Structure 1
Amino acid sequence: MLLQLSVRNFAIVQSLDIELHSGMTAITGETGAGKSIAIDALSLCLGDRAEASMVRKGADKAEITACFALHNLPLAQQWLTSQELQEDDQECVIRRVISCEGRSKAYINGAPVSLQQLKGLGQYLVNIHGQHAHQQLLKADVQRELLDNYANHPDLLQELLNRYQQLQETRKQYQLLQDNQQHREARRQLLAYQVQELDEFAIEESEFEQLEVEHKRLSHSQSLLEQSQTSFHQLYDADDINALSIIQHAIDRLSELQEHDASLTPIVDLLSEANIQVDEASQQLRDYIDGLEVDPFRMQQVEARFSKAMELARKHQVMPEGLYEYHQSLVQEFAQLQQDDNQLEALALTLEQLKQAYIQTAEVLSRSRQTAAQKLAEQVQNEIRQMNMSQASFAIQVQFDPQMAINRQGQDVIRFVVATNPGQPADLLEKVASGGELSRIGLAVQVIASANHKVPTMIFDEVDTGISGPTASVVGQLLRRLGQDAQVLCVTHLPQVAACAHHQMLVTKFSDGKTTETHMIPLAQQQRIEELARLLAGDKLTDTALANARELLGL
């Protein structure tokens, strides 16, 4: 519930502080006095767009502060908790500041927030019905929203929205795969040939490097054999003289001499090590020679595979060392393309399943709407028959259409139909109702639908336009009944409506020729009598008007 509203330098308001109460509060005043200005200010607190022209002339900024009671508002408390903005379980303070340049800042419980956050919280605090709400009632989406508010089935609406979003996301994936199918098929055919060619060659990891080494060795096998044999002969196998025997003779001679000169000992040791090394090298060289053979057939095999690897590398524009990795990447891409084709089929099946799930949920939602439509129509019809439309009939048609394009709101065609006179066929609201009749029907629909919507504060801004006489009294009683369970603020020019309020506030405007100011004050009982009399008879208060005002108040 809205407890307090403070406005500073907003439009023609210099300073305004009002306290509000539960029940119905009527806001009255002369035409042009600014009766709706408090509502405009509150709308800014709830996320409406700010403009520089809203700042009072000569002021550097405008500031609006609204304080709400959170008692019995679990959704608002949950939202505040989720946004880490809750400081007090009992109250919430929203502040909006607009600079003269048009920049604005918003705060919830002292913490800066975005306009989107203001709107997010505002939906749980206030519901505003503007001056043109009746004309809005002619729009199909407004009719659907009013019916859904009355039906009070948010879980069904959320479930439908979830199914719609799942369907849309899957449809995007399917469309993307389908759009690329032609390109994917061409690529798949190319890869099939390339993969088959590389599969047939079947190069193994690091094979090319091994081929390269073997190719070099086989290409020089004759030279390797001849040179290795010569080296072995010189190191070890020559009968007359070889390296090993020369070293051994040197060791023998120097070993005898080291007895005369100990400084020769390190040299003898080095030669002994060299003797061992030459001997081991000779043995390994002999093993190498034994294992080395000139194999023309193997040379042909290696030459052919080496050349083929080079040829394939040039063909696929890769380094021959990377041919194996390239082959594996093509295999993976080909498999992915095959998987995409399978996924396309799977997505088509999933799409159909999601579509059926959406339709089933839409059918459940439609049945809920149909049940609510019958009840709402009966209540609206009862109310408008008390508003000088005693012969009127009102119905809400909800027709489920499974062929309707899938959307966020379901697959219902919703029509508000009315017959205002006996013998007149029922037809769409916009075709039958006059301006005054539309006002009465629209007000009845809004009030009844709002009563079932869990918003604690409802504001009606001159929604009684086009209504007068006894009908106005019925409208006032309707709003008063609504005020028994919620806080109702009603800007009105009708004394019959104002008299039904639990509280009344007067908006006045003063001008000194240079500046203009608007004030809003609560009225005591005698002041209410005088204000109602003014509404009844004009500026000149007569005894008759005052008596009629007392009668309206039931005094």
Structure 2
Amino acid sequence: MLLQLNIQNFAIVRSLDIDWHSGMTTITGETGAGKSIAIDALGLCLGDRATTNVVRPNCKKADLAATFEIKKNKLAIAWLKQHELISEHDGECILRRVISAEGRSKSYINGSQVPLIQLKEIGQLLINIHGQHDHQLIVKASHQCRLLDSYANHPTLLNDVKHYALQWSKLNKELALLQQSKQQREAEQQLIQYQVNELDEFALQHGEFATLEADYKRHSNAQDLLDSTLSSLQTLSENENFNILDALRECSENVHSIARIDPQLANVASILSEALIQLDEASSDLSHYYQQLELDPQSYALIEDRYSTALQLAKKHQLSPEELVNFHGELKQQLDSMSNDESRINTIIEALETTKQHYHDSANILSISRQKSAQRLSKLISKSMQELNMPHGKFHIATEQPKAKNIEQGSIQADFKDSINSNGTDQINFQVSINPGQALEAMHKVASGGELSRISLAMQVILADKVITPTLIFDEVDVGISGPTAAMVGKKLQQLAKNTQVICVTHLPQVACKGHQQLFVSKHIDGGLTETTVTELSESNRVKEIARLLAGDKISQHSLANAQELLAS
């Protein structure tokens, strides 16, 4: 429950410290005094959007802090532990918001600075605020559906439906992208397939081009190789008139002969012997090479053709010939990927069908739960309407399924778009009948503003039993209500406060008198600036305030007596 609210330099508040009691607290005050200012400040502590005008004039910042008791709030304690924000003060949670005059703000939970979203998350586990304009939302189909789901309290069923709706949405987006690019992809696929076929036919292997290039050079220069080799052999060993080997052999024999006379030439003789051996081996190898050389025009033509084709393909793809093999492999992978896209389209369509079935199965279970809850809630609201000065009032929640559309085979996306919704397949419609003999019709057609306000309040009181938050705030939800109806509203709120802390901003004496605690909001001028104060009323001052609400500024003995009677009841 809410224990304390501290407000510094907020709007027309300079400084306020409000202690809150359990049970029901009513907040009253003069028109324009700022009865809802504490609720607005509390909303900022809970993560509402802040603007620059929330800071009191001539002040640098507004500082707001709300203290809650959470000893029995297991969900809040679990959330704080999960985010490592549990307080050292056992059983308490302090939410703080500091807003600068420039509009920047900082958020704190138990003294630790946190993102604003975390204030909102923990706030939903601490307080539920019902605003004075909630009855305007009650005529909207989406809000009607949320109210019914709140009463039915079936979050697991809702989550199942939302899960399959989200899964379908993701699959459908992927399918749409694949189908949109299908025509372009098919053209690219044809081109790549042609390129792959061409390279498949050529079938160049790793390292082949280097060998091919060497063979081409050798065959294209075969005659020069033959001529040069033969000339070299003649010079080296085969010229009968003179050759290097014969001359070297004669020289070597002469040096060996004189080396036997003078040992100083032994080293020269050894060198000449080694040179003779090496030249002899060179001559032998060169002769063997010459014998293998041949002019083969047919082989040369084949090599030349393959070599030329490799160069042409490389130029065509703007590559070096050595890169052709890797490029060929990359094209094949790209082609496989495109084939996988086609396969993926078929897989997605199958997954969409499966997801659609799961969705409708879950939506049917959700629909059954809604129908059962709608019957119970309709009876409760009808009874509450009759208690709120609508003696012939009837309330009915219609849950209808949309009519199936005939979709041509293959138009799977259109079919899904018509039937998949994250809230399920039900169309929820709140219907009322106010007068005897009047048929049930949609609320906005037959209910006045005051009647809508009463129906909304009745619904909020009923739904309040379903909420998990330990504190409920009603901000002038009793607008347009008076007389016996107001007394019944006060009674219902007081009954609600037996199990939940209820805070109610009101202008009705019949509601104000039901509070276990009553706060009075007033304003005065201080130094040229307006200032709002909030005071907890004593029993005697409560009598005066209730009398003011009954009679206005001129309080008589009669209005005081009526006030005492209301408080006594």
TM-score range, shorter chain: over 0.9
1:325 Cα deviation from its structure 2 partner: 2.5
> 1:519 and 1:276, CA in 2 relative to 1: closer, same or farther beyond 3 A?
farther
Alpha-carbon displacement from aligned partner over 1:7-39 (angstroms, at most 9, x marks no partner): 001111000011112221111111111110000
Equivalent in the alignment of 2:152: 151
Equivalent in the alignment of 1:407: 421
Matches within 5 A, 1:48-197: 48-88=48-88, 90-197=91-198
Equivalent position amino acid for 1:195 in 2 = V
Alpha-carbon displacement from aligned partner over 1:325-346 (angstroms, at most 9, x marks no partner): 2322222222222221222122
Equivalent position amino acid for 1:170 in 2 = L
Alpha-carbon displacement from aligned partner over 1:197-236 (angstroms, at most 9, x marks no partner): 2222222223222211110011112222332233344434
Write the distance in 2 (CA, Å) between the matches of 1:524 and 1:261.
Answer: 142
Residues 7 and 15 of structure 1 are in contact (CA less than 8 Å); yes or no, is this contact kept in structure 2?
yes
Residues 33 and 508 of structure 1 are in contact (CA less than 8 Å); yes or no, is this contact kept in structure 2?
yes
For 1:553, what is the secondary structure of its paired residue? helix
- Aligned-residue CA RMSD in angstroms? 2.3
Write the distance in 2 (CA, Å) between the matches of 1:201 and 1:415.
Answer: 71
For 1:453, what is the secondary structure of its paired residue? coil
1:386 Cα deviation from its structure 2 partner: 0.9
Write the distance in 1 (CA, Å) between the matches of 2:559 and 2:36.
Answer: 26
Write the distance in 2 (CA, Å) between the matches of 1:75 and 1:236.
Answer: 105
77-86 or 300-309: bigger deviation: 77-86
Could you tell me which runs of 5 or more consecutive residues in structure 2 were left unpaired when the two chains were aligned.
405-417
Equivalent in the alignment of 1:452: 466
1:266 Cα deviation from its structure 2 partner: 5.0
Equivalent in the alignment of 1:355: 356
Equivalent in the alignment of 2:523: 509
Equivalent in the alignment of 1:25: 25
1:187 Cα deviation from its structure 2 partner: 1.8
For 1:490, what is the secondary structure of its paired residue? strand
> 1:372 and 1:284, CA in 2 relative to 1: closer, same or farther beyond 3 A?
farther
- Aligned pair 1:35/2:35, yes or no? yes
Residues 383 and 444 of structure 1 are in contact (CA less than 8 Å); yes or no, is this contact kept in structure 2?
yes
Write the distance in 2 (CA, Å) between the matches of 1:160 and 1:462.
Answer: 35
Equivalent position amino acid for 1:68 in 2 = F
Matches within 5 A, 1:274-423: 274-401=275-402, 403=404, 404-423=418-437
Write the distance in 1 (CA, Å) between the matches of 2:69 and 2:246.
Answer: 112
> 1:90 and 1:257, CA in 2 relative to 1: closer, same or farther beyond 3 A?
farther
Identity of aligned residues (%): 49
Alpha-carbon displacement from aligned partner over 1:288-315 (angstroms, at most 9, x marks no partner): 3343332221111111212222333334
> 1:514 and 1:260, CA in 2 relative to 1: closer, same or farther beyond 3 A?
farther
1:424 Cα deviation from its structure 2 partner: 0.7
Residues 149 and 450 of structure 1 are in contact (CA less than 8 Å); yes or no, is this contact kept in structure 2?
no
**TM-score normalised by structure 1 residue count:** 0.93
Could you tell me which runs of 5 or more consecutive residues in structure 1 were left unpaired when the two chains were aligned.
none
For 2:524, what is the secondary structure of its paired residue? strand
Write the distance in 2 (CA, Å) between the matches of 1:532 and 1:143.
Answer: 35
> 1:267 and 1:40, CA in 2 relative to 1: closer, same or farther beyond 3 A?
farther
> 1:273 and 1:485, CA in 2 relative to 1: closer, same or farther beyond 3 A?
farther
> 1:132 and 1:250, CA in 2 relative to 1: closer, same or farther beyond 3 A?
same
For 2:354, what is the secondary structure of its paired residue? helix
Equivalent in the alignment of 1:528: 542
Equivalent in the alignment of 2:226: 225
Write the distance in 1 (CA, Å) between the matches of 2:224 and 2:207.
Answer: 27
Alpha-carbon displacement from aligned partner over 1:157-184 (angstroms, at most 9, x marks no partner): 2222221221111111111110011111
Equivalent in the alignment of 1:547: 561
**TM-score normalised by structure 2 residue count:** 0.91
For 1:467, what is the secondary structure of its paired residue? coil
Equivalent in the alignment of 2:441: 427
Write the distance in 2 (CA, Å) between the matches of 1:115 and 1:260.
Answer: 110
- Matched residue count: 555
For 1:64, what is the secondary structure of its paired residue? strand
Residues 205 and 324 of structure 1 are in contact (CA less than 8 Å); yes or no, is this contact kept in structure 2?
yes
> 1:245 and 1:151, CA in 2 relative to 1: closer, same or farther beyond 3 A?
farther
Write the distance in 1 (CA, Å) between the matches of 2:233 and 2:70.
Answer: 103
1:246 Cα deviation from its structure 2 partner: 4.2
Write the distance in 2 (CA, Å) between the matches of 1:549 and 1:272.
Answer: 140
Equivalent in the alignment of 2:495: 481
Equivalent position amino acid for 2:91 in 1 = Q
> 1:299 and 1:454, CA in 2 relative to 1: closer, same or farther beyond 3 A?
same
> 1:284 and 1:125, CA in 2 relative to 1: closer, same or farther beyond 3 A?
farther
Residues 203 and 324 of structure 1 are in contact (CA less than 8 Å); yes or no, is this contact kept in structure 2?
yes
Write the distance in 1 (CA, Å) between the matches of 2:268 and 2:493.
Answer: 122
